A and B are shown apart, each in its own frame.
Chain A
């Protein structure tokens, strides 16, 4: 089933590739998107990835905070901590540069993150 988030993502691609219209058919379902002619329409949200800038195990929150893991649909603020990278005695916060809504969580708690690995995808107001 297509969600509003998916539409945002498709609109983001259209914007990036300067497509005026896009049509997708699958079985009996058909969806057609067309860029508005009128100025002043709200711009679609775009995707942004939060990446690991270090190496280690992914923690969803500080071990002493007990906060729950972020899930799809949660809101993140710019500068907000979205998790930690633990390596030996070092805890490195993973900071989101953007405010937005979580559209995808790429890693499970405890998994090994390499440098530059995607942690979350956010839908961000441009």
Chain B
């Protein structure tokens, strides 16, 4: 049981974790890079330690420095947040080897879920629906590969077993393209992920991205906290998320949720995690599991009333949850807009000093952010500076509240994507709901050609 938590992250999530930790009466230690020396959340931490220069590889990705900082400050646990070292097997293991608690699943779980072939095998064993295709890496015999592809039916997609985030993938539409695609994908897999294994799946043309939030303690309680729709994406980056996913049968969601919970119990999963699915024609297809808290976790918190980060910390402290699955229900509808310091249509980053920050207020409005007037956005990290989340009794009310909240959100000194988000709240496809993962890219392409 620890009473001091080191937060190994930056920006809004560093502040979010700090708030949850304080709520549990924990002492907090924030580590930061030289570029973040003036970050507002360092003032509210019980202790702040600079761990290195601005470049992520020398600070937020410097596992040794972070663990040493924890040992020097008396921290008993490390929360990795999202990104950076959050899904790094070696880091999770090094934290435990140093006698500290890693807030998340153990290294073996992270490794298993990071390897897509191993993950798929585990999911099939638990009865989680997967994309059609074998649950093992492709053989080297081309005749066999061709037979498998024909059996699945074109189009198919080739993926690097160690890949992720849209890299190391190739769509194959005809048998003639197959041989070359296999060779190139295998070569990339070896070069980028040091693992030449590739696997093959049915390629879904127009799926939605729907995910299930999980939270598990170390006493066998694996709870699913409902679903999220994250189909509004640009270049595999989520732009808007909402809960629940519009227009999907709740009975089907509950069935998939139960299977995810079963999978978590089977692999001994502890902490927060997300099962990501493609959803097409009324069917769910597992794509990957994220073994960390996600950027979009607040929409689930808004509809369930649960504090996912606090539950992560409770699970890490070895506590058993005091809620059971039958007590978890969702109420109303929540939407999150990611607010980035970037040009709304060219997407060029816009770092610099904030001259004005007016946060929106109102019924059902939540803003997760670390910024204030005078804050200088560093150039070294990603451009997300806030998350605007609204909750309403239904999707229509949530949309209305988001429009009003975006209208009341003013950031001076840099350019932000607030105008894009405001335009999307009136875009007929999004307003209708249930659009596929290509919808936003198509809308942007159409807009720029006008």
In the complex, chain B residues whose CB is within 8 Å of the CB of A87: 68, 71-72
Within 8 A of B (CB), among A80-122: 87-88, 112, 114-117
In the complex, chain B residues whose CB is within 8 Å of the CB of A88: 68, 71
A55-B51, A55-B65 are known contacts. Are A115 and B72 too (CB-CB below 8 A)? no
Q: Let me know if A112 and B52 touch, CB within 8 A.
A: no
Which B residue sits closest to A57, measured CB to CB? Answer: B72
Q: Let me know if B72 and A56 touch, CB within 8 A.
A: yes
Instruction: Name the 7 nearest CB pairs between A and B, nearest first.
Output: A114-B50, A115-B50, A114-B49, A87-B68, A115-B52, A116-B34, A116-B50
A87-B68, A115-B34, A115-B65 are known contacts. Are A55 and B50 too (CB-CB below 8 A)? yes
Task: Say if the beta carbon of B53 comes within 8 Å of chain A.
Answer: yes
Q: Let me know if B51 and A115 touch, CB within 8 A.
A: yes
Q: Let me know if A115 and B53 touch, CB within 8 A.
A: yes
Q: Could you list some 16 contacts between A and B, CB below 8 A?
A: A55-B51, A55-B68, A55-B69, A56-B72, A87-B71, A87-B72, A88-B71, A112-B73, A114-B50, A114-B51, A115-B51, A115-B53, A115-B65, A116-B50, A116-B53, A117-B50
Least distance between A66 CB and chain B CB atoms (Å): 24
Instruction: Report the interface size class on chain A.
Output: 10 to 19
Known A114-B50, A116-B34; further 4 A-B contacts with Cβ < 8 A? A112-B49, A115-B51, A115-B52, A115-B53
Cα of A53 to Cα of B53 in the assembled complex, Å: 9
The residue in B48, B59, B69 that gathers the most chain A C-beta atoms within 10 A of its C-beta is B69
Interface residues of A, dominant DSSP: loop
Least distance between B315 CB and chain A CB atoms (Å): 28
Q: Let me know if B72 and A55 touch, CB within 8 A.
A: yes
In the complex, chain B residues whose CB is within 8 Å of the CB of A117: 50
Least distance between A107 CB and chain B CB atoms (Å): 13
Q: Let me know if B68 and A56 touch, CB within 8 A.
A: yes
Least distance between B234 CB and chain A CB atoms (Å): 35
Cα of A112 to Cα of B50 in the assembled complex, Å: 10
Residues 40-68 of A, flagged 1 when their CB comes within 8 A of B and 0 if not, give 00000000000000011100000000000
Cα of A114 to Cα of B34 in the assembled complex, Å: 10
Cα of A87 to Cα of B59 in the assembled complex, Å: 16
Q: Let me know if A55 and B49 touch, CB within 8 A.
A: yes
In the complex, chain A residues whose CB is within 8 Å of the CB of B50: 55, 114-117
Residues 44-84 of B, flagged 1 when their CB comes within 8 A of A and 0 if not, give 00001111110000010000010011011100000000000
Least distance between B322 CB and chain A CB atoms (Å): 37
In the complex, chain B residues whose CB is within 8 Å of the CB of A114: 48-51
